[in-house]
Amino acid sequence: MARPLRIVSWNVNGLRACARKGFGDWLARDRAWLVGVQEVRALPEQLPDEIARPRGWHTHFVAAEKKGYSGVGFFARQAPDEVQTSLGIPSLDREGRLVIARFGRLVVANGYFPKGSGTARDNSRVPYKLRFYRAVFDRLATLRRGGRRVLVMGDLNTAHREIDLARPKGNRENSGFLDVERRELDRWLAAGWVDTFRRFEPGPGHYSWWSQMPGMRERNVGWRIDYILASAAAMRFVRSAFITPDVRGSDHCPVGVSVDAGILGASS
């Protein structure tokens, strides 16, 4: 029987900074088959060679037009059959928030979903955030109808339920826990997407992001805003899901799933 594939997502909060804190060592020892990273905040040519092109990995990075902002990428043990980086909507594409890679019948969409808060700490970017959510939803619906087994990974920048953040009452008016944002996640799940972590772990206290204010991570005052969602066709191959809060290097920690290798091409 083929060994399960470990698929991991991590908002690295600046890949160059994370590299200085041990990203390369973590990548070498994690045993992942695919790692999607968000908030790269660098052009590919600005990354050190050992991170941009590590031995034994196929890599692809998508940068925002604005330097030092946003950006996504992936590291894969297998060369993808196809890579797409555009939604065909310039206002959404210019921020470098999405890369979609196909491996046989498996499609992995790695996204850095926008925050809804603006520079004035208001909720002015919520409409933009929801446009991105809906555009990604529509693109992936086409792939699902085409028989692909789809995983969506990334920083979704939304805590879905009260159980998904330590202080829900104090954050009801803040982007990341607004009713309108949470309803958008409701819409995804109603359409058949599965929150893989919650399929295996119903309990509280599991978070993937902590404020950088002193003591917040140590006291586990966090939010679960990083997800791997699975289409029904992909979920049949998912065997476990995990969050690894002990991994440092960013204000987020890696999250992931273990899937049967048959997800790449075995008949359903």
User: Mind telling me the catalytic residues?
Assistant: 155
For residue 112, which of 40, 186, 180 has the smallest C-alpha distance? Answer: 40
Distance of CA 145 to CAs 25, 73, 149, 262, Å? 39, 25, 10, 19
Residue 22 CA, chain-centre distance (Å), reads 20
Cα–Cα distance measured from residue 58 to residue 51, given in angstroms and rounded to the nearest whole number: 11
Cα–Cα distance measured from residue 15 to residue 41, given in angstroms and rounded to the nearest whole number: 7
Hunting for tokens 């925050």 — which residue is that? Answer: 115
Cα–Cα distance measured from residue 21 to residue 41, given in angstroms and rounded to the nearest whole number: 16
Cα–Cα distance measured from residue 268 to residue 237, given in angstroms and rounded to the nearest whole number: 9
Coil, strand or helix: which one is 181? helix
Cα–Cα distance measured from residue 5 to residue 257, given in angstroms and rounded to the nearest whole number: 8
